Amino acid sequence: ASGKGGVGKSTTSCNLALGFAALGLKAGILDADIYGPSLPKLFGLRGKPRQVGPRMLEPLERFGVQVMSIGFVVEEDSAMIWRGAMVISAITQLLREVAWKDLDILVVDLPPGTGDAQLTMAQQAPLAGAVIVSTPQDIALIDARRGIAMFEKVNIPLLGLIENMSSFCCPACQNVTPIFGHGGARQEAETRGIPYLGEVPLDMKIRQTSDDGRPIVATEPDSIHARHYIEIARNIWATIV
């Protein structure tokens, strides 16, 4: 989850799901970002899920991860205008009517903020916990705090905070610049007594591979950035088993 949009929540979710798969786990990812599903693009997936039996949908599969997104079943723009009741019903369907195969772990990419989708998820699914993605600067952290408060209120364990776009290493001069500051999420985690799961730098490679539907953990698993994600996945797995 994240407090606000654009902080890299979907990119992180996608690479974490691939990170769990890299650890040898059977991983799935559910795109519950009803208003802006990005997993079809991130995984380079098109096409409709197959129906099995009267109601169930089969997830699509890519890079060894099972993927289900509202983006596979509705036109890209139509969900944008859904009202609360429709969002709740769509999330409930995504939770109950997907034929996942033998999962060890399911990553859920929530919409930003603390609305109906988050509450439905928190109330209807036995969540192992929430991971909050934030950029380091104050403005993003203020929103992240709201997310933290919501999960605390509905008794979902907070597995930790990830600082995304933590620093930028200039490819030309190798200087490291903290564009959005650095260490804000770690400090926030410490202040609130929540585990700090790690940081991911701002890097063009991460953006490019995401946009190309070839996420970095799947296509360059030995790169430094992929190793960051895999390490964070390992941290998360260690806290939930």
**Binding stretches for ligand ADP (CB under 6 A):** 2, 5-11, 38, 164-165, 200, 202-203, 206-207, 210-211
Nearest Cα to Cα of residue 63 among 28, 101, 32: 28
Both structure tokens of 212: 């190309």
Beta strands of the chain (E only): which ranges?
27-31, 51-52, 56-57, 60-62, 65-69, 105-109, 130-134, 158-169, 176-177, 196-202
Q: Which is nearer to ligand ADP, 26 or 221 (by Cβ)?
A: 221
Q: Which is nearer to ligand ADP, 1 or 60 (by Cβ)?
A: 1
In whole angstroms, the minimum distance from the beta carbon of 4 to ligand ADP comes to 7
Q: Which is nearer to ligand ADP, 116 or 203 (by Cβ)?
A: 203
In whole angstroms, the minimum distance from the beta carbon of 12 to ligand ADP comes to 7
Both structure tokens of 29: 């990812």
In whole angstroms, the minimum distance from the beta carbon of 61 to ligand ADP comes to 21
Q: Which is nearer to ligand ADP, 114 or 164 (by Cβ)?
A: 164
What is the 3 state secondary structure string of 189-236? HHHHCCCEEEEEEECHHHHHHHHCCCCHHHHCCCCHHHHHHHHHHHHH
In whole angstroms, the minimum distance from the beta carbon of 50 to ligand ADP comes to 27
In whole angstroms, the minimum distance from the beta carbon of 99 to ligand ADP comes to 26
Q: Which is nearer to ligand ADP, 52 or 76 (by Cβ)?
A: 76
In whole angstroms, the minimum distance from the beta carbon of 151 to ligand ADP comes to 17
Both structure tokens of 180: 């959005």
Residue at shortest CB range from ligand ADP: 8
Query: Residue 167: which region, alpha, beta or left (left: phi > 0; alpha: psi -120 to 50)?
Result: beta
Count of other CB atoms within 10 angstroms of residue 186: 17
Q: Which is nearer to ligand ADP, 52 or 224 (by Cβ)?
A: 224
